[in-house]
Amino acid sequence: MKRPAFGTLLDARSLKVRLMVLAALSIGLVLAASGVLLTYLFEQHIQRRVAAELEVRWNEIAGALTLDAADRMTLSREPADPLYRQPGSGTYWQIDAPGQPPLRSRSLWDEALALPADMGMEAEAEAVAVEGPEAGSALYALVRPVRLIGAGGPVPARLAVAVDQREIAALSEDYAADLMRGLLVIAAVLLVVALLQALLGLAPLTALRRSVAAIRAGTRARMGGGFVTEIQPLADDLDRLLDWRDQAVERARDRAGALAHGFKTPLTILSLEARKLDAAGESTHAAVLRDQVEAMRRVVERELARARIRGGQGGTALGGGPATALAPLVAGLVATIRRLPHADAIAFEVAVPPGLGVRADRNDLGEVIGNLLDNARKFADGTVRVTAVAVDGAVTVSVEDDGPGFGAPAGDGRNDDGSGLGLAIVEDVLAAYGASLSRERRDGFTRLAFTLPAAPAG
């Protein structure tokens, strides 16, 4: 039964399925790792940009720091960014100096930055996370100590500039969402490419299977060349196997033929001995001997006919051979049958369309139709019909005679020249092709028929 098209996609034993599963897992793992790594790198980049921005802001405010007459910290000018003057804007600065209230941006309003006491001792610029003035908020802050020289000596202070993390977090989230969409598109493209790669990569196996099917159907003798480098050695091995098979079949056929012919001389001698016994008055013993000789001859003839059958070489049931044209074959067989005894009194009616062929070896087909014609000759009263009809890719061949029917003896001694093995041989040959012989009696005619796959006449 032919597997449905979607069946292969669900078959765990399919190479295509295994390759696609492996590709999907590999693509998923690689893209997931890439997404995590790219997100991490983006966040690091953002933090470096924030640190650089805070450095600029810190330098701006530090450059505006000065001392008044009482050595208190003050700003000589307001920072340029208007966000410092907008309450809750997320952009802040704050100056802490001993002995005086902290100076802070208007954006902090009445709040203050909750800076750890030990923060700001590092000289290296670095954005660090601190708690914001609003509940649950978080800031990136750059905190450094500053020292100004006043009338009473050095005045230490700590300057902090900070920005809200929420804008940065939103930027990271947007980047992650865009990155996810991009990775999904990349994953889809890679899966399509992987599918195409699997289809193209496995195409030589499909070609190999088609070649094997063509050999089984009899339309091709050997695999031949033209396969990809990895598949060609297998095709060559199959050709060598087919050569060995043909040689083995021919040797077996020759041995069977030699064995059958080797029995002919002893059987002939035994037949002569039976005649001598009959002439000497030993008719009972002669009859027994003749019966046994005839039985052995039947076995030899049937096995010899079986050895000649080529249908099994096709490797398939029902139509495993090459194409054979029916019309010329039937015409030749009818011409041969006409030369046999009593055939001149029979009218042979042939209705076989030209160009019609069947998938079977010519010798096997000749064995079948020839035996059917000979059987009809022996039993027909005056008419034998041979017809061939093609329907739905198959050809039915029938041989009819207007004789007395099944089980009735042939008249005029026409059956005395045969062994009675004709129909048995026909059934053996058809069985090698997965076909069978049908029998029916209708409208005064006995009809024997068989069906084989149609093929262009060759």
Average pLDDT value for residue range 41-51: 87
Q: Specify the higher pLDDT residue, 123 or 64.
A: 64
pLDDT above 90 (res 38):
yes
Give the orientation angle of helix 422-432 with respect to helix 283-308, to 10 degrees: 30
pLDDT above 80 (res 8):
no
The CA-to-CA distance between both ends of the chain, in Å, stands at: 28
From the centroid of its chain, how far is CA 342? 60
Query: Under 8 Å CB-to-CB from 42, ≥6 apart: which residues?
Result: 172, 175, 179
pLDDT above 70 (res 340):
yes
The predicted structure's pLDDT at residue 425:
84
Q: What is the DSSP string of 209-277?
A: HHHHHHHHHTS-S---S---TTTHHHHHHHHHHHHHHHHHHHHHHHHHHHHHHHHHHHHHHHHHHHHHH
Average pLDDT value for residue range 265-284: 82
Give the rounded percent of residues in the chain with a pLDDT score beyond 90.
33
In Å, how far are 19, 195, 257, 443 from 14, measured between CA atoms?
Answer: 9, 13, 46, 56
Backbone angles phi, psi at 379, to 5 degrees: -110, -15
Residue 351, beta-bridge partner list? 387
Task: Record the tokens describing residue 112, joined without a space.
Answer: 């203050």
Mean pLDDT of the chain: 83
| Amino acid at position 159, single letter | L
The predicted structure's pLDDT at residue 123:
45
pLDDT above 60 (res 312):
no
- What CA–CA distance (Å, rounded) separates 182 from 77? 47
- What CA–CA distance (Å, rounded) separates 222 from 228? 16
Q: Specify the higher pLDDT residue, 10 or 283.
A: 283
The predicted structure's pLDDT at residue 327:
93
| Amino acid at position 334, single letter | V
pLDDT above 80 (res 68):
yes
Could you report the per-residue pLDDT of 101-117, keeping only the tens digit for each? 888 899 988 888 887 77
User: Could you count the other beta carbons within 10 Å of the beta carbon of residue 392?
Assistant: 5
pLDDT above 70 (res 22):
yes
| Amino acid at position 186, single letter | I
Could you report the per-residue pLDDT of 173-217, keeping only the tens digit for each? 899 999 999 999 999 999 999 999 888 888 888 888 888 888 776
CATH superfamily of 317-456: Histidine kinase-like ATPase, C-terminal domain (3.30.565.10)
Q: Where are the alpha helices (DSSP H) in 310-417?
A: 326-337, 362-379
**Annotated domain spans of the chain:** 1-217, 228-308, 317-456
The predicted structure's pLDDT at residue 199:
86
- With beta carbons less than 8 A apart as the criterion, state whether 261 and 231 touch: no
Name the pLDDT band for 346 (thresholds 50, 70, 90). Answer: very high
Q: What is the DSSP string of 389-409?
A: EEETTEEEEEEEE-SS-TTPP
The predicted structure's pLDDT at residue 320:
47
Name the pLDDT band for 289 (thresholds 50, 70, 90). Answer: confident
Name the pLDDT band for 121 (thresholds 50, 70, 90). Answer: very low
Could you report the per-residue pLDDT of 237-254, keeping only the tens digit for each? 988 998 898 788 778 777
Mark 164-197 as b/e (b = at least 16 C-beta within 10 Å).
bbeebeeeeeebbeebeeebeeebeebeeebeee
Among the listed ranges 45-49, 109-113, 118-122, 446-450, which one has the minimum average pLDDT value?
118-122
Q: Which of 107-121, 224-238, 368-382 has the highest mean pLDDT?
A: 368-382
Q: Specify the higher pLDDT residue, 205 or 335.
A: 335
Among the listed ranges 192-206, 299-313, 316-330, which one has the minimum average pLDDT value?
299-313
The predicted structure's pLDDT at residue 316:
38
Average pLDDT value for residue range 122-131: 64
pLDDT above 60 (res 317):
no
The predicted structure's pLDDT at residue 309:
66
The predicted structure's pLDDT at residue 400:
95
